[in-house]
Chains A and B, each alone.
Chain A
Amino acid sequence: MSLLCLSPLITTPAVRNCLVKRSRKGYNVPSWLKFLVIKGPLIIASVALLTMMMIVAVHVIGRALFNVPLFGGVELISLSGVFLISFGLAYAQWERVHISIELMIRRLPQRFQLAFAVSSLATSLLATALLAWGGVVLVWDAVVKPGSYTLILHLPSVPFKVVWVVGCITLWAYFAYHLIEALRTEREK
């Protein structure tokens, strides 16, 4: 509940100005880093999706033609899914396609629209922080608990749980970036 209470705080003028000023300092970001930040999640998720597809194809064709399915195929598909979805969530936010209903908001004056957008992004930031925190707890449990391996291939599960946390943090960072952008627009208006 306390997390949710922070949401209006972010929209207060003092915090808003501070955030906008910081974002305007114009740090010299190397182009490779920019590329990694913008395209990284898409590339990782795309590779995971295509890998998943290839594993399914090899698994099914091997089983149908040679009666030899890929050993641990199902598990490999599931693990590819972790990469795909963790970074797919972030990429969808980068493209701003997460489903929301703007029917009512669109009818409001521009100022209110921006205020709603800022509150919505701030709340999303808190929810994703919650998800990331949950992920960290999951990783910690897997590290502390001995024998945290996958069932068939006996791969350690910790790295895959870390991928989920990294995906959540990336999603959080994109929400933060869009929040700063929204605040900047609001101030300019």
Chain B
Amino acid sequence: MSPFTVGIIGIIVTLLLLLCGLPIGISMILVGFLGFSYLVNIEAAFHIISTVPYALISNYDWLVLPLFLLMGTVLFRAGLGTSLFNLANSVFGRLPGGLSIAALGACGIFAAVSASSIATAVTIGTSAIPEMRRHNYDSGLATGCIAAGGTLGFLIPPSTILIIYGIITETSISKLFMAGVIPGIILTTMFMIMVYIRIRLNPSLAPRGPSTTMREKLQAASECLEVLVLIALVLGGLFIGWFTPTEAGGIAAFGSIVVSLARKKLNWQKFKDSVADAVKSTGMIFLCAIGAFIMIPFIAVSTLPMEMAGRIVDLGIYPTIALVFIILLYFILGCFIDTMAMVLLTVPIFFPLIVNLGYDPIWFGILIALLVEMAMITPPIGMNVYVIAGVAKDVPMETIFKGIFPFVVTLALFIVIIVVFPQLATFLPSILK
């Protein structure tokens, strides 16, 4: 059997093991180990399994992840999302569907302190959904906008997906974070505009809220001033070059604890819970990462990415067509596979291919983040939808999926925009020090 065939079989077996309910990390450890043993020898495979995991867990760069996760969990448990929602509501509340637009704005801001899409959706959803329901907003709109808004957590820095992508592909995490800013702002704005247009066309979906005075706006801003300062400090420091990503994560986590304590929103129980949440997520992500890093040498010796790139060149397929095929594959995989598994399994295969085809690695990272966002809200898995269904228990799942459809279309449109105008992602990193 040629290494290429073994590589293909390895990927298929991994997918089958995943569908049988085996943890993603474990599936990749086994397939990586067995595949490498077959293609090279068992001694080399044992060498990988003994050295790679320890090298990974003691890698300074990877530790950015638990620190940003801690920041997100602390702010989530401290309930600072409500203050952000109140601020956004004071600005956008008077517009038709103002609460939905405010919720999207709050999701965008919270995404800048949380590395997680689910944390963003739950934090803002907990305060925004009851408020929208109280004002007779359409259930689909109320839940759909939070589920979609939550996905901004994967695009707006700090983002778990961008960190993982950066480490797997050895792309600068700072540059990836910077690349996520403009697309993040544009996508948030597009979501807001879409909601506004929908409500202008069908005013029964949501009423217009009361306007607020400048004093009320300032008061709402003062309620979450420290969080805004923290965002500016952490992301600003990272972009200017004051901190490494790991240092930014540490300062962010430390700052979030200080801010929550200063606001008297963090007691001992909440603190313990937030640390436990961060530890849990860390363990969860690192098992996948260990699996991926044991699988990567197998993928490399199978020559799968290089052969695929070679065959595309030989067949004379345009790079754009190859890219469209990859996007469609991600879209399909996203419907059935967990987002983390999707990234860890596919990026080592497609990244060399994309680079060979002449695409920018940073731009591809942003594209992956957008495709992951899409996967978070498309049926049947659509993790964010399930999370929101837990927050709004009386809203049927079909209603949430219906409510989310316009956001999926908007996201798809934005993916087209980012493919046509890659500069939206590459401009800021190009001016990074």
Structural contact, A95 and B57, CB atoms closer than 8 A: no
- The residues of A that contact B278 with a CB separation of less than 8 Å are 49
A104 at the interface (CB under 8 A from B): yes
Within 8 A of B (CB), among A46-65: 46, 49-50, 52-57, 59-60, 64
Cβ contact within 8 Å between B70 and A98: no
B25 touches A99 (CB 8 A): yes
Knowing A98-B287, A99-B23 are in contact, say whether A135-B46 is a contact too (CB < 8 A): no
Chain A interface mostly helix, strand, loop or mixed?
A: helix
Whether a CB of chain A sits under 8 angstroms from the CB of B67 is: yes
B residues 33-57 touching A (CB-CB < 8 Å): 33-34, 37, 46, 49-51, 53-54, 57
Partner of A100, one of B23, B37, B54, B249: B23
In the complex, A18 has a CB within 8 A of chain B: no
The answer for the CA separation of A160 and B59 in the assembled complex, in Å, is 13
Q: Contact at B279–A46, with CB atoms within 8 Å? A: yes
B57 touches A81 (CB 8 A): yes
Q: Size range of the interface on A?
A: 35 or more
Q: Is A33 an interface residue (CB 8 A)?
A: no
Whether B280 lies near A119 (C-beta < 8 A) is no
Chain B residues near A74 (CB, 8 Å)? 60
Partner of B67, one of A1, A53, A135, A138: A53
Instruction: Give chain B interface residues in 229-274, CB to chain A under 8 Å.
Output: 242-243, 246-247, 249-251, 253-254, 272
Cβ contact within 8 Å between A90 and B283: yes
A130 at the interface (CB under 8 A from B): yes
A103 beta carbon closer than 8 Å to chain B? yes
Q: Is the CB of B286 within 8 A of A88?
A: yes
> What residue of chain A has the Cβ atom nearest to residue B57's Cβ?
A85
Chain A 24-67 near chain B by CB (<8 Å), digits 1 or 0: 00000000000000000010011001101111110110001000
Q: Are B338 and A99 in contact (CB under 8 A)?
A: yes
Query: Using Cβ atoms and an 8 Å threshold, which residues of chain B touch A128?
Result: 26
Identify the closest chain B residue to A140 (Cβ).
B50
Interface contact A103-B336, CB-CB below 8 Å: yes
Interface: B66 (CB within 8 A): yes
Question: Chain B residue with minimal CB distance to A123?
Answer: B22
Stretch at the interface among B13-21, B92-100, B166-174, B394-402: B13-21
Query: Chain A residues with Cβ under 8 A from B338's Cβ?
Result: 99-101
With A50-B275, A78-B60 already in contact, the answer to whether A92 and B53 are too (CB < 8 A) is no
Residues in B whose Cβ lies below 8 Å from that of A130: 29-30, 33, 49
C-beta contact mask, A123-135 vs B, less than 8 Å → 1, else 0? 1101110110111
Q: Which residue of A lies closest to B20 (CB)?
A: A116
Q: Are A127's CB and B29's CB within 8 A?
A: yes
Asked if B428 lies at the interface with its beta carbon under 8 angstroms from chain A, I say no
How far, in Å, is B288 (CB) from chain A's closest CB?
Answer: 6
Cα A53 to Cα B33 in complex, Å, equals 34
**B-side interface mostly:** helix
A101 CB contact (under 8 Å) in B18, B53, B246, B247: B18
Chain A 72-104 interface 0/1 with B at a Cβ cutoff of 8 Å (1 = within)? 001001111110111111111101011111111
Given contacts A53-B250, A130-B49, A134-B46, contact A123 B340 (CB under 8 A): no
Query: In the assembled complex, how far is the CB of residue A67 from the closest CB belonging to chain B, in whole angstroms?
Result: 13
B63 CB within 8 Å of chain A? yes
Distance of A178 from chain B, by nearest CB (Å) = 11
Cβ-neighbour of B54 out of A1, A45, A49, A161 (below 8 A): A161
Could you tell me the distance between the alpha carbons of A3 and B145 in the complex, rounded to whole angstroms?
48
- Asked if A138 and B50 make an inter-chain contact with CB atoms under 8 angstroms apart, the answer reads yes
Check A77–B337 contact: CB distance below 8 A.
no
Residues of chain A within 8 A of B275, CB atoms compared: 46, 49-50
- Is B381's CB within 8 Å of the partner chain A? yes
- Taking the complex as formed, is B24 at the interface, i.e. its CB lies under 8 A from any CB of chain A? yes
CB distance from A183 to the nearest CB of B (A): 16
- A105 adjacent to B21 (CB under 8 Å): yes
Residue of chain B at shortest CB distance from A175 = B26
Q: Which residues of B contact A126 (CB under 8 A)?
A: 30
Q: Is the CB of A45 within 8 A of B279?
A: yes
**Which residues of B are found within 8 Å of A59, using beta-carbon distances?**
247, 250
Assembled-state Cα–Cα distance A59/B246 (Å): 12
Question: Does B66 lie within 8 Å of A84, measured CB to CB?
Answer: yes
Q: Which residues of chain B are within 8 angstroms of A55 by Cβ–Cβ distance?
A: 250
B284 at the interface (CB under 8 A from A): yes
Q: Given the complex, which residues of A lie within 8 Å of B281, measured CB to CB?
A: 92
Q: Are A99 and B280 in contact (CB under 8 A)?
A: no
Whether B60 pairs with A77 at a CB distance below 8 angstroms is yes
Across the A-B interface, give the 7 residue pairs with the lowest CB-CB distance, nearest first.
A56-B250, A92-B283, A88-B283, A134-B50, A134-B49, A85-B57, A98-B23
Interface residues of B (CB under 8 A from A): 17-26, 29-30, 33-34, 37, 46, 49-51, 53-54, 57-60, 62-63, 66-67, 70, 242-243, 246-247, 249-251, 253-254, 272, 275-276, 278-284, 286-288, 290, 336-338, 340-341, 380-381
- Taking A49-B66, A84-B279 as known contacts, 15 extra A-B pairs with beta carbons closer than 8 A to each other, sorted by chain A number, are A42-B279, A46-B279, A49-B275, A53-B67, A57-B254, A79-B58, A81-B62, A82-B54, A85-B66, A98-B24, A98-B25, A101-B24, A101-B341, A130-B29, A164-B54
